[in-house]
Chain A
Amino acid sequence: MLQLERRPEASTTLRWLSPLLALALTVATGFLLFLGMGKDPIQALTFFFITPISDLTGLAELGLKTAPLLLCAAGLTVCFRARIWNIGAEGHFLIGAVAASAVAVSVGEAGGFLVLPAVLLAGIAGGMAWAAIAAFLKTHLNCNEILTTIMLNYIALNLLLYAVHGPLKDPYGFGFPQSVMFADAALLPALINGTRLHIGLAFGLLAAVAVWVLFARSFIGYQLNVVGEDHRAAAFAGFSARRLTWFALLVGGATAGLAGAAEVTGPIGQLVPQVSPGYGYTAIIVVFLGRMHALGIIAASALLALTFIGGEMLQIAMNMPKAVTAMFQGMLLFYLLTCDAFIHYRIRFRRPLPAGLSQPAAPAGQEL
C-alpha cells in the first residue's frame, strides 16, 4: 500500500529549485516525446528553446509575448497570495482588449497625445469591471471565484466575437470579423526601433516591481498574505476579507485588462477574434512557476513566452502540430506540482494488515 506522508520539515532550497527541476523534467520528457514521434529530439529542442532567441528579432518577439504574460501574472500573484483563485485573467484580458478597441475605433483618425492613455485606461477599466462581477459574486453571494471566473471567461470570449462581428466590425473589411486598423495616435510606441517590441513590456516590468513593493513593504500586501495563509487569523486581526477580495480581484482585472489593451494597440493594431493565444490561462502557470514572487514571475513569463514562440517554430520548421505549445506548458505545470508535492510529502510503503486480524471496527477517529 502506498501512502503519502507529510515530511517533518520541507526543504527551503528545494522549494526554490523545484521550478528548475520541473523545467529539466519537462525537457527530458520532451526529448522522449520527440524521439517517439520519430523526430530528431536534439534538433527539435534546439528549435523550441534556442533558435527563437538567437537574434535580436527573436529576443524582441520573446519580449513581445512576455509582456502580456507578465502583466496578467502580476495581477494574479496579488490574487493567489490571498488564496483567491482567480482563473479569469483570460476574460479580463479579452474585455480589456474590447474596451480599448471600442475607444480606439470611436476616436477614429483624431490625433492627440491623450488618445493612447484614454485607450489604455479603457482597457484597464474594462478588465476591472469584468473582475468586479466575480468580486461581487464572491463577497455578496458567496460564489466560488474559480467557477465564476472560468464562466466569465467564456462570456468574455463571446462578447469579443459579438464585437468583431457587430458594433466594432470594419465596414470595409470584406466581411472579415475584425475592426479597422487603429490610427497611429492609438498605437503603443516601439521599445526597440525596427522590431515589434513595444512599451507593453515596460508596463509588465513596472507591474512586477509594484507587486514586489506591495508584498515587501505595504500593510495591505501583508493583509493579503495573512488572509491567504490563515483566514481565521485575518478575521481575528480584523482584516476585512471582503475588502481584500475586492482589492485583489480589481488589481487582477486592471493588469490583465491593460495587457489586453496593450495587445490590440501594440503588435496587432486592431481587434481580432484571436487576440489572445491563452495568455490569461498561461499566466496561471507563470505565477506558480515564479513562486508568486516578482523576480520569479519575470523569469517564468519569459520561459512561457518561449513556449509560444518555440511551438510556432516547430510548426514551421519541423511540421509539428500546434499542440506542442500546450503540451510543454502542461508538462511544466504538472512537473512543478509534482515536485512541490514531494517537497512536502514522501511516499511510504505500508504493509497491509496480516491475515487473520480483523480491521479495527471502531470509528476512524480512534486510530489517529
Chain B
Amino acid sequence: MAVSAQRLKLQGIVKDYPGCRANDGVDLTVGAGEIHALLGENGAGKSTLMKIIYGVVQPDAGRIVWNGHPVTVENPARARQLGIGMVFQHFSLFETLTVAENIALGLPADEVRDRGALEQRIREVSEHYGMALDPRRFVSTLSMGERQRVEIVRCLVQESTLLILDEPTSVLTPQEVATLFKTLRKLARDGCSILFISHKLEEVRSLCDQATVLRQGRVSGHCQPKDLSASDIARLMVGDDTPIATQVSAAQPGDTLLQVQELSWQTDDPFGTSLKNIGFSLRAGEIVGIAGVAGNGQEELLKVLSGEITLKGEAIRFTGEAIDRLPPGARRARGLAVVPEERLGRGAVPVMSLADNALLTAAGQGLVRRGVIRRQRVREFARDVISCFGVRCSGEQSSASSLSGGNLQKYILGREACQSPRLLVASHPTWGVDVGSAVAIHQALVKLRDEGAAILLISEDLDELYQLCHRMGAICNGRLSPLAPASELSINQLGQWMAGNFEVEELADAAA
C-alpha cells in the first residue's frame, strides 16, 4: 500500500501500567477507507491502544504517524483536531440536551453560533449515511441505537477521517447491527477509515477488510478476516492451549421447577426498569435463556428472583411454593442459587479473601454452627471450589480483588454450583471473561444442567445463548417475550423480540 494511503500508522507502541505492560511494541497500520478490526480478549490491550490513539493516555514509547507525518496526540481535543473521532462503548451524551446541543458541545464555539446551520448539517450528514436523526429531539427519548448514531454523527460533523468504534454492537439488536454496518460500509467507500474494536468474530468477518489481533499486549497476528474461519481467528486471540468452544449435548427436561406468572414490579429508580406482566416456566434439566439489550429489566428480574427485591403476591412459584416474600437466605436454603452480573461488589466482597467470600452464600453448608464460623470447614469449602473449577489464585486466602475477572467468575459460579442448587440464575456469566474461562463456565453450567438443575441464563451474548439454551426469549423494556425452542428460533425473530415486537406471540406459544 502506498505511503499516502496510510491514514494511521503506529510503530512500537509501549504502555506500562503498575504491575502490567498493557501494550508491548504494538504496530498497527490503517489505510484510507479501510475497515480495520482490532481483535483481542478483555485485557489484551485493545482499550489502552485506543486511548493512546485518541490521546486519552500517552504511550511510554513508540511513534504515531498520521497521514505520513509523525504526531503527538496530547489529548482528545488534539485527536479531534487531527480528524480522529471515537465512539465509546458507554455513550457520553447528556440525556437532558437535544441531539444538536450534544453535538455542538464537541465543536469549536464559532461553528455552533448558527444553530440552524448546524441542524441542517446534522440532517444532511445523518441522511446521507442512512442514519435518520432529528436534531431537536432530546437524547433521553432516543433508543440505544439512535444514541449511537448521535455519537457517530458527532464524529462526522467534526470531519473525522478515522472513526474508532469500541464494541459498537454490544448495545444493539441484530437489526440495528445490520443498519450500522450498512452505514459503516458507506463511510468507508467515501474514504473514512474505521477502526472497529470487537470480540464478536462473525461480525468482524462480515464487516472488516483487515484485522490486527492482540494477545497479552502484543500483536499476535494480522489477517484478512473474510479469508479465515471464526475459529481460526479465535485461535489467534487466545493462543493454542485454550479450548474455544463447548460441546453441548441435548437437554433432557424434567418437571417444572420454577413457575412465574403475571409478575409485575414498579421501580422507584428513575434509571431503573419496571417489570411488566412477566411469565415463564423453567423445568429441571434445561437451560432457558433470556436475551436482551442491557438495561431492559434484566437486573430487576434477577433481583426479584434472588430475593434482593421481595414482592407481595404469589407470582413466583418454586417447586410449587410461592416464594415472593422470602428473603435471599430463605430462597437459597430452598436450592435457588444466583450468580449476579457484578462479580466484584455484589457476587464477592473485593477486600475479603476467597475463603471469607465463600461464607457469603455458602454459610448454610455447615460452615456456621450456632452463630460461630467454622474456619476449618470454610477453608476446605473454598479449596474444593478452587480445585474443582480450576480457579487460578495463590490460595483460599487471596483477596477476591486480586483475581482476574474470569477466575473470580469461576470461583463465584463454583461457590454456587458446589452447593448443588436446584435452580441457578446466572446473569452475564461470561461478560468480560477470557475465552478459556468462558468455556469452563459453559461446561460447568451444562454439567449442572445434566445433574438435574434448572438454569436461567440472562445474557447479551447471542452466540452463548444459542449454544447453551434449550429454550429462549428476550426481555425488552421490562416485558418478556414468549419462549421458543432455541433450535426453532431464528435470529431475526429474536431480534424482533429484543426490540419489543412480540406480535407473533400466539405462533411462538404454539411452537413452545
Within 8 A of A (CB), among B58-90: 74-78, 80, 86, 88, 90
The 0/1 profile, CB within 8 Å of B marked 1, for residues 123-154 of chain A is: 00000000000000000000000000000000
| Interface presence of A194 (CB below 8 A) | no
Within 8 A of A (CB), among B412-434: none
State whether A233 and B90 are in contact (beta carbons under 8 Å apart), knowing that A362-B76, A363-B105, A367-B76 are contacts in the complex: no
Asked if B345 and A357 sit within 8 Å, CB to CB, the answer is: no
Asked if A230 and B350 sit within 8 Å, CB to CB, the answer is: yes
- Give chain B residues whose Cβ lies under 8 Å from the Cβ of A366: 56, 76, 86, 88, 92
Contact for A232 among B327, B346, B368, B371, CB less than 8 A: B346
| Interface presence of B19 (CB below 8 A) | yes
| Interface presence of A35 (CB below 8 A) | no
Asked if B345 and A233 sit within 8 Å, CB to CB, the answer is: yes
Asked if A226 and B328 sit within 8 Å, CB to CB, the answer is: no
Asked if A233 and B307 sit within 8 Å, CB to CB, the answer is: no
| Interface presence of A350 (CB below 8 A) | no
A9 to B351, CA, bound (A): 12
| Interface presence of A8 (CB below 8 A) | yes
A354 to B76, CA, bound (A): 14
Contact for B345 among A230, A360, A362, CB less than 8 A: A230
State whether A233 and B348 are in contact (beta carbons under 8 Å apart), knowing that A219-B368, A220-B371, A238-B327 are contacts in the complex: yes
The 0/1 profile, CB within 8 Å of B marked 1, for residues 326-368 of chain A is: 0000000000000000000000000001100111111101111
Q: Give the size category of B's interface with A.
A: 35 or more
A31 to B469, CA, bound (A): 73
Asked if B328 and A237 sit within 8 Å, CB to CB, the answer is: yes
State whether A360 and B349 are in contact (beta carbons under 8 Å apart), knowing that A219-B372, A235-B308, A237-B360 are contacts in the complex: no
Asked if B340 and A240 sit within 8 Å, CB to CB, the answer is: no
A11 to B340, CA, bound (A): 31
| Interface presence of B106 (CB below 8 A) | yes
| Interface presence of A174 (CB below 8 A) | no
Asked if A363 and B92 sit within 8 Å, CB to CB, the answer is: yes
| Interface presence of A236 (CB below 8 A) | yes
Contact for A229 among B19, B352, B373, CB less than 8 A: B352
A332 to B78, CA, bound (A): 47
Contact for A365 among B92, B308, B331, B332, CB less than 8 A: B92
Name B's interface SS. loop
| Interface presence of B500 (CB below 8 A) | no
State the Cβ distance, B347 to closest chain A Cβ, in Å. Answer: 7
Asked if A365 and B90 sit within 8 Å, CB to CB, the answer is: yes
Residue from B88, B108, B346, B368 having most chain A Cβ neighbours under 10 A:
B346
- Give chain B residues whose Cβ lies under 8 Å from the Cβ of A361: 77, 105-108
A207 to B92, CA, bound (A): 52
| Interface presence of A319 (CB below 8 A) | no
Asked if B76 and A360 sit within 8 Å, CB to CB, the answer is: yes
CB nearest neighbor in B for A365: B92
Contact for B349 among A8, A233, A362, A368, CB less than 8 A: A233
A235 to B308, CA, bound (A): 6
- Give chain A residues whose Cβ lies under 8 Å from the Cβ of B345: 230, 232-233
Asked if B74 and A359 sit within 8 Å, CB to CB, the answer is: no
A366 to B56, CA, bound (A): 8
State whether A358 and B340 are in contact (beta carbons under 8 Å apart), knowing that A218-B372, A238-B307 are contacts in the complex: no
CB nearest neighbor in B for A227: B349
State the Cβ distance, B105 to closest chain A Cβ, in Å. Answer: 6
Contact for A360 among B77, B94, B107, B347, CB less than 8 A: B77
| Interface presence of B306 (CB below 8 A) | yes
State whether A236 and B78 are in contact (beta carbons under 8 Å apart), knowing that A219-B371, A362-B106 are contacts in the complex: no
- Give chain A residues whose Cβ lies under 8 Å from the Cβ of B321: none
Asked if B93 and A363 sit within 8 Å, CB to CB, the answer is: yes
- Give chain A residues whose Cβ lies under 8 Å from the Cβ of B455: none
| Interface presence of B356 (CB below 8 A) | yes
The 0/1 profile, CB within 8 Å of B marked 1, for residues 201-239 of chain A is: 000000000000000011110100110011011011111
- Give chain A residues whose Cβ lies under 8 Å from the Cβ of B273: none
Asked if A238 and B106 sit within 8 Å, CB to CB, the answer is: no
- Give chain B residues whose Cβ lies under 8 Å from the Cβ of A229: 349-352
Contact for B92 among A222, A226, A238, A362, CB less than 8 A: A362
- Give chain B residues whose Cβ lies under 8 Å from the Cβ of A225: 352
Residue from A217, A220, A367 having most chain B Cβ neighbours under 10 A:
A367
| Interface presence of B342 (CB below 8 A) | yes
A357 to B76, CA, bound (A): 11
| Interface presence of B395 (CB below 8 A) | no
Asked if A357 and B373 sit within 8 Å, CB to CB, the answer is: no
| Interface presence of B359 (CB below 8 A) | yes
A284 to B360, CA, bound (A): 29
Asked if A236 and B88 sit within 8 Å, CB to CB, the answer is: no
CB nearest neighbor in B for A219: B368
Asked if B349 and A226 sit within 8 Å, CB to CB, the answer is: yes
State whether A367 and B105 are in contact (beta carbons under 8 Å apart), knowing that A217-B373, A233-B347, A360-B76 are contacts in the complex: no
- Give chain B residues whose Cβ lies under 8 Å from the Cβ of A362: 76, 80, 92, 105-106
| Interface presence of B173 (CB below 8 A) | no
Asked if A232 and B93 sit within 8 Å, CB to CB, the answer is: no
Within 8 A of B (CB), among A94-125: none
| Interface presence of B338 (CB below 8 A) | yes
| Interface presence of B508 (CB below 8 A) | no
| Interface presence of B253 (CB below 8 A) | no
Asked if A237 and B371 sit within 8 Å, CB to CB, the answer is: no
Asked if A218 and B340 sit within 8 Å, CB to CB, the answer is: no
State the Cβ distance, B326 to closest chain A Cβ, in Å. Answer: 9
Residue from A9, A230, A238, A360 having most chain B Cβ neighbours under 10 A:
A238
| Interface presence of B177 (CB below 8 A) | no
| Interface presence of B18 (CB below 8 A) | yes
CB nearest neighbor in B for A360: B77
State whether A237 and B77 are in contact (beta carbons under 8 Å apart), knowing that A220-B371, A229-B352, A366-B92 are contacts in the complex: no
CB nearest neighbor in A for B79: A360
A102 to B359, CA, bound (A): 45
Asked if B18 and A226 sit within 8 Å, CB to CB, the answer is: no
| Interface presence of B363 (CB below 8 A) | yes
State whether A219 and B363 are in contact (beta carbons under 8 Å apart), knowing that A232-B345, A237-B328, A238-B328 are contacts in the complex: yes
- Give chain B residues whose Cβ lies under 8 Å from the Cβ of A217: 372-373
A357 to B75, CA, bound (A): 9
| Interface presence of B329 (CB below 8 A) | yes
Asked if B75 and A353 sit within 8 Å, CB to CB, the answer is: yes
The 0/1 profile, CB within 8 Å of A marked 1, for residues 370-390 of chain B is: 011100000000000000000
| Interface presence of B148 (CB below 8 A) | no
The 0/1 profile, CB within 8 Å of B marked 1, for residues 189-204 of chain A is: 0000000000000000
| Interface presence of B361 (CB below 8 A) | yes
State the Cβ distance, B303 to closest chain A Cβ, in Å. Answer: 9
CB nearest neighbor in B for A232: B346
Asked if A8 and B18 sit within 8 Å, CB to CB, the answer is: yes
Given contacts A229-B349, A360-B76, 10 further A-B contacts (CB under 8 A): A222-B359, A225-B352, A226-B352, A229-B350, A232-B345, A236-B308, A239-B329, A240-B327, A361-B108, A365-B90
User: What are 18 A-B interface contacts by the 8 Å CB criterion?
Assistant: A8-B19, A9-B19, A219-B359, A219-B368, A229-B351, A230-B345, A233-B345, A233-B346, A238-B327, A358-B108, A361-B77, A361-B105, A362-B80, A363-B94, A365-B92, A366-B76, A367-B56, A367-B76
The 9 lowest CB-CB distance pairs between A and B, nearest first, are A238-B328, A8-B18, A238-B329, A365-B92, A363-B92, A360-B77, A230-B349, A232-B346, A237-B360
Binding site for A on B (CB under 8 A): 18-19, 56, 74-78, 80, 86, 88, 90, 92-94, 105-108, 306-308, 327-332, 338, 340, 342, 345-352, 356, 359-361, 363, 368, 371-373
